[in-house]
Each structure stands twice: as C-alpha cells, then as structure tokens.
Amino acid sequence: MSSERPLKVLVYSDDRTTRESVRLALGKRPAADLPEIEYVECATEPAVIKQMDAGGVDLAILDGEAVPAGGLGIARQLKDEIFRCGPILVIIGRPQDAWLATWSRAEAAVSHPIDPVRLAEAAGDLLRQRVATLPATT
C-alpha cells in the first residue's frame, strides 16, 4: 500500500507546541504500510483555507481548541465549501466533546492531551482510506 509521493498532512493550531506534538506523534509515517508524510503547518484560519483550496492535502488535522478560529468550525466550513474535501481529524478538548466532532463532519477525533498511539491509529486509518482512493502512479 505504498505510493510514489509522500502524503501531505496539514496540521492546524495556533499553538506551536500542539503542532509539534502532532508531528512528533506521527513521525515520518504513522504506520509502516503507509508512505512518508510531508507536513504543512498552519497557525491561522486563512492559511488553512488557502492550503485546502489549493488541493493535494491527504489529511487535515485541526485543533478544536485553537483561537480565534477553532478547528471544529473550520472543519465544517471545509466540508461545506470544498467539493470532495479530504479527510479531517479534529483534536477536541475532552472526550465528551465528540458530538462536536460529529457536528463538524470530521471523520475522526482524538482528545487533548494528545495520545501519540491514538493519534497515529486514527491518522493511519484515514490515510489508508485516502491511499486506497488515489489514482495509481506509473
């Protein structure tokens, strides 16, 4: 299940330590059967919208606790505005906020503090699904 190109993962949070925690949790690849990851970090909502509009993002990981624009609202906006928007994983404040992740239309959610194993499992599942839908490279 490998691809020639690295998978592009967008990581959004206004907090650089949260973005770093995501990168450290996933590493170069969240699972051995997946291609390597190329990270795009965004600290603002306009940067996320610009990157997602440009296309090519295989997974967006959005911090629901980011300010002033939270990742849950951004996720819903992306799902509403981008045709065939790629998978989104949101990081929620607590497990009880899972209903908000459903409202946002995100495909997966993990809660703060970031558990590297849970994040890698959730991201790996979404990336496997994404790789399965990508056109074959020759």
Model pLDDT for residues 22-68, shown as the tens digit of each residue: 999 999 999 999 999 999 999 999 999 999 999 999 999 999 999 99
Superfamily designation of domain 7-131: Response regulator (3.40.50.2300)
Q: What is the pLDDT of residues 56-110, one digit of tens each?
A: 999 999 999 999 999 999 999 999 999 999 999 999 999 898 999 999 999 999 9
Q: Where are the domains of the chain?
A: 7-131
User: Which has more confidence, 14 or 4?
Assistant: 14
In this predicted model, what pLDDT tens digit does every residue of 108-123 receive, in sequence order? 999 999 999 999 999 9
Interhelix angle 71-81/45-54, rounded to 10 degrees, is 30
Both tokens of 22, joined, read 């995501």
